[in-house]
Structure 1
């Protein structure tokens, strides 16, 4: 089906129905690996997560494809037709600052089109990346990140950690392929945005990339995240396609503190320009405005220790004052699916109604709106218990119902333009089932809960290879159902498009690294008196921090502003030092603190000029002997 772009009108007509969603995959995302040890079973954020996503996608295609469901064709013919429709080779659109060579579906009869992208965004020549993670004094954070990636193998081979002291050793890791994975992730996301806006593809796309991003602030990596994918995507839509209003629905189990922090800064800058123009400054194009709405567990990371600034940020509800539009809703327990959708789910829909209010107050439906979903799947009922220990979950069908409602919102206000980006989700069962429900809803198919029943999920899990080096999913021991055979064939065909998915990981010389990854039992981990430690999280909204002109204007050259007030603060970005005596990170420009630093140097350190907003820093020490990771996306 060809999607034709209409001319802008005062009120937006719904997108053509039913749309055929595109699912974007990126082979380079397999290159970000944990290499400190061969034992990775307790590392939640692993490349193998993508296998489960692809399997859930394959099952969705098998269930939806009309060639498979028709009783007038043989199973073999239906299978061949399904693969042809889904995985034909074609060329994808190119993104600014990226190279793109993609294989994709080109026939209109497939219910979901799969695009294997090779797009790459060069972080040091990409305006959107600099808009979010750049600095008026240069690419300080990005340069540090690149240096750490390039030096990661040597550090680990020497028995050291590749993550600087001052950042969580359990939540963050790097390897020689990490930068390729991150640049490929952003290039693929930008490619998806370009296709959606240009009307050359479906108005809906799901971008299955890693590492996740919503915990990463402007220059503060945390919770598995080094680059904020969704924030960079919104900036790309703004800078290249003149999107002025971005809606971000974050449905991860954990609060997207990094995305909220970045959204606050962007809104603050846009609001400042508005006030200046009202006071007589020369008119200029309005800046980007962001609505950020999150549904999350207030008892989980990054709020699990109950730090007041983190909990307050994750509970913020502000709509209009200071140009901010932020809504946070806490997950609740539920007893049954029926009770969830009758009593609990309507409360979560407040996220969408608040977004409607935002658009109503900023100009209504127009051609300058795009909707994003930070699609974390770790709130799913099938997530590992160690990841979701507080019982605040959602049934699998939530991912169908919320996706359906978000698509309807996008149809009404944004020409149907909706980009979903993978965030968290760590158990195979959670990723398989949630991906099925999510992509089926994006294809506007009716909900059929039997598709992700426990029995069917158990059968699907058997298709996943049990050994890392296995090039093909294992075959069922008994005669499988036709839909399962089709799922297996689709999965194998998609796998063939990803060489890094099949190939074993490169070997890295290792000396036992004296790094103790943190566990999930955060409440039991208290630092000893007088010792600061590891985990850094970006600031969310500056709820208790006085706003300053410098805070509003320090951003990257894209903003075309400069600081007007000189403030003092510790700078830990000096080259060659690794980390300072206080245990600060060489990645972050924020000093460590038990809770919050507000323009105040640490003892025994010279003060330097501030360049970043005040940061909320959460410090947690791992218990001896524990392995795993505590941060979450």
Structure 2
């Protein structure tokens, strides 16, 4: 079987101010890096209000729609901005997550990578933050559970910043396990090991500033992989942030491109054992353009290998 790449040109129309790290060039660099790979390329459909309402109340969706400016860029907070086209891009990012779940569960493809923006894992139930408008990873998990009847979904978030939004959205969902590794302490300030979810369904793995791939690999072997194996997920959703790379300007972890390759390989191995290989991966952070492109390519190469 093959690996799907799900994206859409609308995701390039979400514009942030000059100098903002979550810039259009991020997606350009990722897509350029993935261009030579043998992938089934699918267009991300727009998520409807009903789709978004699986994880956000309608009043929040309406508030985000109303905040989109007719011209220029408008701040929702000091980090999170909207421009004309942002809502359309965010719908495509959320729709990509849904399309990926459909494609993987139907066996149209072995696994899928969603190259979209804005990212999603910081968006809480009624709060946009950290460049994010809608909770795409939580939406993928909830959609798989409720629409497809999947019994157990694991979300693994290896972005350098804690997936506080995904944690908020899945806190009370016993059918979902969230495993999130992150530099700690670091913005947004959450992600301590003591945060365990409403049903002991959250595992946070704080990693100290300056630590590298060896520390990450040891922590995943010790904590994450046994927890995943015990949970026996029917689907693994990855929040694939590449800002733990040593070249990234927004944090102080020291992972290499090969660390992302290794982690992807291991998660796909667990998916093969428990989830028929079903993996949906969503692009989150990564702000050094060269490191982002190289790491995303290594990640997708491992998805392709796993899907053979």
When the two structures are superposed, what TM-score results if normalisation uses the length of structure 1?
0.46
Distance (whole Å) between structure 1 residues aligned to residue 196 and residue 62 of structure 2: 35
1:315 correspondence with 2:193: yes
Shift of residue 323, structure 1, vs aligned partner: 2.0
Matching residue of 1:26: 8
1:210-609 equivalent positions in 2, closer than 5 A: 210-267=117-174, 289-303=175-189, 310=190, 313-316=191-194, 318=196, 322-332=198-208, 333-334=210-211, 340-341=213-214, 344-349=216-221, 350-359=223-232, 369-384=234-249, 387-388=250-251, 391-444=252-305
Shift of residue 184, structure 1, vs aligned partner: 1.2
1:130 correspondence with 2:112: no
Distance (whole Å) between structure 2 residues aligned to residue 58 and residue 316 of structure 1: 42
Q: Is the 8 A contact 1:218 1:262 kept in 2?
A: yes
Pick closer, same or farther for the CA change 1:219–1:407 going to 2, 3 Å. same
For residue 238 of structure 1, give the secondary structure of its aligned residue in structure 2: helix
Task: Encode CA deviations 1:360-412: one digit per residue, 9 max, x unaligned.
Answer: xxxxx6xxx2100000011112212xx12xx3221111111010000011111
Task: Encode CA deviations 1:259-294: one digit per residue, 9 max, x unaligned.
Answer: 111111333xxxxxxxxxxxxxxxxxxxxx110111
Distance (whole Å) between structure 2 residues aligned to residue 344 and residue 121 of structure 1: 34
Distance (whole Å) between structure 2 residues aligned to residue 255 and residue 430 of structure 1: 20
For residue 48 of structure 1, give the secondary structure of its aligned residue in structure 2: helix
For residue 235 of structure 2, give the secondary structure of its aligned residue in structure 1: strand
Distance (whole Å) between structure 2 residues aligned to residue 348 and residue 227 of structure 1: 27
Decide which structure has greater strand share. 2
Q: Is the 8 A contact 1:56 1:431 kept in 2?
A: no
Decide which structure has greater helix share. 2
Matching residue of 2:60: 141
Shift of residue 131, structure 1, vs aligned partner: 1.9
Q: Is the 8 A contact 1:383 1:429 kept in 2?
A: no
Pick closer, same or farther for the CA change 1:175–1:419 going to 2, 3 Å. same
Q: Is the 8 A contact 1:291 1:325 kept in 2?
A: yes
Shift of residue 442, structure 1, vs aligned partner: 1.1
Segments of structure 2 that go 5 or more residues without pairing to the other structure are none
Matching residue of 1:115: 41
For residue 6 of structure 2, give the secondary structure of its aligned residue in structure 1: strand
Distance (whole Å) between structure 1 residues aligned to residue 202 and residue 65 of structure 2: 32
Matching residue of 1:574: none
Selected match of 1:153 from 70, 81, 84:
70
Distance (whole Å) between structure 2 residues aligned to residue 393 and residue 315 of structure 1: 21
Selected match of 2:29 from 38, 52, 58:
52
Shift of residue 346, structure 1, vs aligned partner: 2.0
Distance (whole Å) between structure 2 residues aligned to residue 45 and residue 194 of structure 1: 28
Q: How much is the aligned-residue C-alpha RMSD, in angstroms?
A: 2.0
Shift of residue 118, structure 1, vs aligned partner: 4.7
Task: Encode CA deviations 1:123-178: one digit per residue, 9 max, x unaligned.
Answer: 2x33xx212102xxxx11111111111xx136x5xxxx834xxx52x201111211
Task: Encode CA deviations 1:76-98: one digit per residue, 9 max, x unaligned.
Answer: xxxxxxxxxxxxxxxxxxxxxxx
Distance (whole Å) between structure 2 residues aligned to residue 315 and residue 344 of structure 1: 15
1:176 correspondence with 2:49: no
Task: Encode CA deviations 1:289-320: one digit per residue, 9 max, x unaligned.
Answer: 110111110122112xxxxxx3xx4333648x
1:186 correspondence with 2:98: no
Matching residue of 1:209: 116
For residue 113 of structure 2, give the secondary structure of its aligned residue in structure 1: strand
For residue 131 of structure 1, give the secondary structure of its aligned residue in structure 2: coil
For residue 119 of structure 1, give the secondary structure of its aligned residue in structure 2: coil
Task: Encode CA deviations 1:49-75: one digit per residue, 9 max, x unaligned.
Answer: 11111122135x2xxxxxxxxxxxxxx
Q: Is the 8 A contact 2:157 2:163 kept in 1?
A: yes
For residue 153 of structure 1, give the secondary structure of its aligned residue in structure 2: coil
Q: Is the 8 A contact 1:205 1:419 kept in 2?
A: yes
Shift of residue 240, structure 1, vs aligned partner: 1.7
When the two structures are superposed, what TM-score results if normalisation uses the length of structure 2?
0.92
Segments of structure 1 that go 5 or more residues without pairing to the other structure are 1-18, 62-111, 268-288, 304-309, 360-364, 446-633
Number of residue pairs the alignment of both structures matches: 304
Q: Is the 8 A contact 1:375 1:423 kept in 2?
A: yes
Shift of residue 344, structure 1, vs aligned partner: 4.7
